[in-house]
Amino acid sequence: MKLPAEFFQRPDPLQIARDLLGKHLYTNIDGVVTAGRIVETEAYRHEGDHSLTLHLQRKRQQARGLHVAGGHTYIYTVYNRYALFNIATYDAAHPDAVLVRAIEPTIGIDEMLRRRGMAEVKRSLTAGPGVMSQALGITPALTGQLVTGEAIWFEDHGEAVAAADVVASARVGLEYAGAEAAGLPWRFRLKDSKWTSPAK
């Protein structure tokens, strides 16, 4: 079942990030479908999260893409190389987001390998937000789209993820935002998944 936009229009990005674990992310790029089971996410909330506050200030024009109804893509590049795939949540008055950090590849693996320039399937294929986007063919050109369309969408395959199977920890690479923001336990991972990103 395809997830509706309403899934992302709930007020709590932490709950959305947690609920995305076990769901499946699909892309259809130039007629080629790739997909994977989501094993890692991060939540960003404009209130009480200095990392997102700084992002909104530094990327003022681009960050307007978060002032939209939940369920729109928000994709930007870091290090002039990696595209980070976020979904705006809640509504236009609340510029919150969820970052999908890693998937377990399930469909279109040969195409993922080609996009990543890899010869064999291993963790580095999709374990991390930049390499995951590359494997799925996600680029900033797709920003602003609803995640209920034909290019990017999510599906619920009926998997129930127990609380005991979720690891909550600090998000990755946010030291610049200060100790409080860097320490927020808003990164969610499936316990024991070999496909989560290597950062601790």
Q: Give the lowest-confidence range in 41-45, 63-67, 90-94, 187-191.
A: 63-67
Alpha carbons 195 and 125: distance in angstroms, whole number: 9
User: What residue ranges in 113-194 does DSSP mark as E strands?
Assistant: 152-155, 166-169, 187-190
Alpha carbons 187 and 99: distance in angstroms, whole number: 9
Residue at 197 is within a domain: no
Full domain range(s) for residue 183: 5-190
Mean pLDDT on 26-39 = 97
For residue 75, give the CATH number of its domain.
3.10.300.10
Tens of pLDDT, residue by residue over 51-86, are: 666 556 555 555 666 788 999 999 988 777 889 999
Q: What is the pTM of this model?
A: 0.91
Percent of the chain with pLDDT over 90: 71
Residue at 200 is within a domain: no
> In this structure, what DSSP letter does residue 174 have?
-
Residue at 117 is within a domain: yes
> In this structure, what DSSP letter does residue 194 have?
T
Alpha carbons 142 and 9: distance in angstroms, whole number: 20
Residue at 110 is within a domain: yes
3-state helix, strand, coil split of the chain in percent (to 5) is: 30, 30, 40
**Rg, the chain, Cα only:** 15
Residue at 87 is within a domain: yes
Residue at 195 is within a domain: no
Domains contained in the chain, number: 1
Tens of pLDDT, residue by residue over 141-200, are: 999 999 999 999 999 999 999 999 999 988 776 656 556 667 788 899 999 999 998 865
Please say if the pLDDT value at position 95 is more than 70: yes
CA angle 102, 162, 158 (to 5 degrees): 75
Q: Which single residue is written with the structure tokens 């949540």? A: 89
